[in-house]
Chains A and B, each alone.
Chain A
């Protein structure tokens, strides 16, 4: 056999093998996302994997199975453990905070106990404000034996959304199923349902970006194990939110005194109780920065004008009352000096203060 024949044969064999592996991967759909070195070889992460561009040692997956497989919530529940799960957005996740400074970290520092059992708080916050994401998380966590789910929302979470984001695309079928089952009029539902799944996307080649990120997450496990740090707090010099706010009275494209009810996905909050089943859910309106400076008579902060936020709070309380939802409004529970770069993000001291304020309510739920 001469060398010409050999090299051509190598190329043909390689192509055949490539096609075969991709076809087999589509046919068998191996559950790669469910495999993880976390909770098996090394301890699970305290936070769901998420990475900003400025964090070279974290990674975003946008696949709920892979995200939860890496989280400590997927580890076996101890017999003397009471599991409290916090679901919410970036403020619960603790963007710009180290793991121990987040709300769950601070809460665990209080070492709460109930009848000799340890209360352990789990951080399932994720920097993507969306009730659909929260419902998917509640559904996922419901199988992991939580004793209470504390669900933090704010106006931006409950507000309807019309854009498709990578998280929804990455969990398209579950998101659509959630919207359909609970009849949630999510703004991007139609666009999401029109995203046609093609054969190519299910191949290994089509999933190469996810596979690369998944692999990277597993490699970062070594750093997590040896340093005990999820390396998600690069932002040392945060620009602290200003006491002065913009003059604009609009909320997004809504002029003052518009009727917000039609724009809010309040039904999703009731759906959350159904998704959780027997597990008690505590709905919390999370604290916001209340400005005291210029134009603070128009807006509470740069995110929320007063008219919109007041209306939202009223509707949220009404929805909770009508549907017997366990509800806690903490909107002004934290003084302005405890906020950092956004009107929703708290400093480590702010998180501590919030944990201390929530603790009695939590006890009344898990330790009556």
Chain B
């Protein structure tokens, strides 16, 4: 998002927050329009329209799946249905309005979109009548969503799909290196959260407007944080009343985010290490400095976006969860991951790490504790890596952190019983803490090589060069 877009959204957020009635529907309309507005141009061109439409369609389908029969009453949800269908039709009509700044004008024919919407709306009405959904459907839906996510994150699979679709249409395939379905990674995780909580019987009853607002809440749509449905809905119904201090707080947070993202991160991006520089830079010392620039850049970029999201949320009266807590100042890797992209790691902890650990503990074969920790941490971190993209680089990045967490866990265990006497003194505690911060920062910084280098072998070579092994 550009600064202008963010400032426009801030004004919109303030206006929506002033509404006494119809706030939920107004927010739904705004969020629905925003996801079309911020969707990047995507080849083949009609996907620029279809991606946000799919997001809305998928979200509605999941609501039908996870909502209780009572919450699906037409009377309560007709407003949301009209808003969602109206938004899609309105954006589609841009082929006539040609308002290029806000939406793509390369939209499909209105008859086609209207026909598709009609079919899906009727199907939705039929689904809404089903009283009890078999548990297997939840499992299948989860699998489907994971497959979809994996598919979208696998560059080779995407290329193949585009070629196949083009061949079916008798056209030449457009060269596409990646599909940018904006926000889908986050949308998928919110949807999975609701499915898993619904299956566990923890999900509150929500209307269509509440559910869609949660999934596509515009401040957090493209870069998180990943909130929890019940907390979000509570806050949506009882928005924080912004007094003077609240406005100042929201404004400060928004401007802090803008400063971090558009001044610090964008300036660091000019000199941040990349594959090209890595091949050309002649001195190891300078390579470290460029790598530090990358490490700081990714932090300021991501945490800046989070500040912007939280600031916009506050302007709407919604307190989004924090996502960062000075991660580079943490003395060990566990604490780093408790303060970096916190909502994602909490998600994985709740829905993968903890269930996996419980499963291993209850397994008939007694596994040693260290092995359970190793397997759970490795698997969790590799999955977090692959969430960014199904590539060898992200896999190795996850592996790097998984192994790092395990080693740090073992080291901490060992230190618990072997801490020398000096380690308990104030001086010793400081030394251990600062050396921990130093080591953790450098471990994380070296790990970024796998994250951003397109070729893992180059990343490995650069790492060896940085460590003066070669």
* A residues whose Cβ falls under 8 Å from a Cβ of B: 3-4, 7, 57, 215-216, 219-220, 222-223, 225-229, 231
Contacts and interface: CB of A to CB of B under 8 A. Distances in A.
Interface residues of B, number: 16
B244 A220 contact: no
A226 B281 contact: yes
B276 interface: yes
Contact of A7 (B244, B277, B282): B244
Contact of A223 (B244, B248, B277, B283): B277
A70 to B, nearest CB: 15
Contacts of B286: 225-226
B54 interface: no
A219 B267 contact: yes
A278 to B, nearest CB: 41
A335 B463 CA distance: 46
Contacts of A225: 286
B267 to A, nearest CB: 7
Given A223-B290, A227-B277, A227-B280, 10 more contacts: A3-B245, A57-B270, A57-B276, A219-B267, A223-B277, A226-B277, A226-B286, A226-B290, A228-B280, A228-B282
B89 interface: no
Contacts of A220: 270-271
B281 A227 contact: yes
B116 to A, nearest CB: 37
A223 B244 CA distance: 46
Nearest to A217: B270
A229 B281 CA distance: 9
Interface of B: 244-245, 248, 267, 270-271, 276-277, 280-283, 286-287, 289-290
B282 A3 contact: no
Contacts of A228: 280, 282
Nearest to B276: A231
B280 A229 contact: yes
A219 B270 contact: yes
B244 A3 contact: yes
A3 B281 contact: no
Contacts of A227: 277, 280-282
Nearest to A231: B276
Most buried by B among A215, A220, A225, A227: A227
Nearest to B287: A226
Given A226-B290, A227-B277, A231-B276, A7 B248 contact: yes
Contacts of B244: 3-4, 7
Most buried by A among B244, B245, B276, B283: B276
Most buried by A among B244, B267, B271: B271
Nearest to A227: B280
Nearest to A6: B248
A226 B283 contact: yes
Most buried by B among A57, A216, A226: A226
Contacts of B281: 226-227
B433 to A, nearest CB: 32
A289 B282 CA distance: 38
A74 B290 CA distance: 28
Given A227-B277, A227-B281, A229-B280, A222 B248 contact: no
Contacts of A226: 277, 281-283, 286-287, 289-290
A225 B276 CA distance: 15
Nearest to A10: B248
A358 B244 CA distance: 74
B245 to A, nearest CB: 6
A229 B289 CA distance: 17
23 contacts: A3-B245, A7-B248, A57-B276, A216-B270, A219-B267, A219-B271, A222-B271, A223-B270, A223-B277, A225-B286, A226-B277, A226-B282, A226-B283, A226-B286, A226-B287, A226-B289, A226-B290, A227-B277, A227-B281, A227-B282, A228-B282, A229-B280, A231-B276
A16 to B, nearest CB: 19
Contacts of A223: 270-271, 277, 290
